[in-house]
Amino acid sequence: MGAQWKAKGKELVANARGKLFTKLVKEIMVAARGGADPSGNSRLRLAVEQARKASMPKDTLDRAIKKGAGLTGEAVNYEVVMYEGFAPHRVAVMVECLTDNVNRTAPEMRVLFRKGQLGTSGSVAWDFDHVGMIEAEPANKDADAELAAIEAGAQDFEPGEEEGNTLFITDHADLDLVSRALPNHGFTVLSAKLGYKPKNPIDPASLSAEAMAEVEAFLAAIEANDDVQNMYVGLAG
């Protein structure tokens, strides 16, 4: 799903590691509202696993959990806000923001969408499925993605963002269950999250090189915004 533009977009974003840590810290703090113990909070457990895989320092991780759980006395007011619309050439886009100030984020999104079209709530969501997304890599050369998907309870699978990886698609309610099961079937989980999969993605090959460049520039600009947590795009491949 949009692996080509994602690879190029990441190259355009300065200080990618710092941006990743910022996203992870936000996710951890929001997840920790449901409890500071990862064993009893599946969303927090998944966020902590991703932070560890990204080599986040332990003190940063612990501080984010405590802050999110309200153990430091500091107020955490991050709010999830979805923006829907179209990139140039009618490519559907759903942008998930995690913001502490909607009055800042909303006008920034309106400016970013000027080269596309910002829609109302539900304007493109109907063309996406709400699913669990698990990026995993084979733990050994005998790992079989199709067999692992069946045995672990995933709905589908496709090539992941990185070469050799697999993206397992699950029912949104089964994300934690499948992510726990995959290691028993030869795959190491790299990330797990709820997201949106396009039902009718556009084939990038159907766009001219100039048109695709416009789409990639639009997406890269949105992804560079500090409040953007995740972006889901109606592109195949």
The confidence band for 14, taking pLDDT boundaries of 50, 70 and 90, is very low
| Nearest partner of 124 among 97, 153, 92, judged by Cα | 92
Q: How far is CA 199 from the centre of its chain?
A: 17
Cite the residue boundaries of each domain of the chain with CATH code 3.30.70.980.
Answer: 79-126+199-233, 128-198
The string of pLDDT tens digits covering residues 128-184 is 999 999 999 999 989 999 999 999 999 999 999 888 999 999 999 999 899 999 999
Q: What is the fold, at CATH topology level, of the domain defined by 79-126+199-233?
A: Alpha-Beta Plaits (3.30.70)
Cite the residue boundaries of each domain of the chain with CATH code 1.10.10.200.
Answer: 3-68
CATH superfamily entry for domain 128-198: YebC, transcriptional regulation domain (3.30.70.980)
| Nearest partner of 154 among 170, 173, 134, judged by Cα | 170
Q: Where are the alpha helices (DSSP H) in the chain?
A: 3-12, 16-31, 42-53, 58-68, 102-112, 145-152, 175-181, 209-223
Taking the C-alpha atoms of residue 27 and residue 44, their distance in angstroms, rounded to an integer, is 8
| Nearest partner of 148 among 160, 140, 157, judged by Cα | 157
Query: How large a percentage of the chain has pLDDT more than 90?
Result: 69
Q: Taking the model in full, what pTM does it have?
A: 0.81
Residue 170's pLDDT is what?
Answer: 97
Q: How many residues does the chain have?
A: 237
Q: What is the fold, at CATH topology level, of the domain defined by 3-68?
A: Arc Repressor Mutant, subunit A (1.10.10)
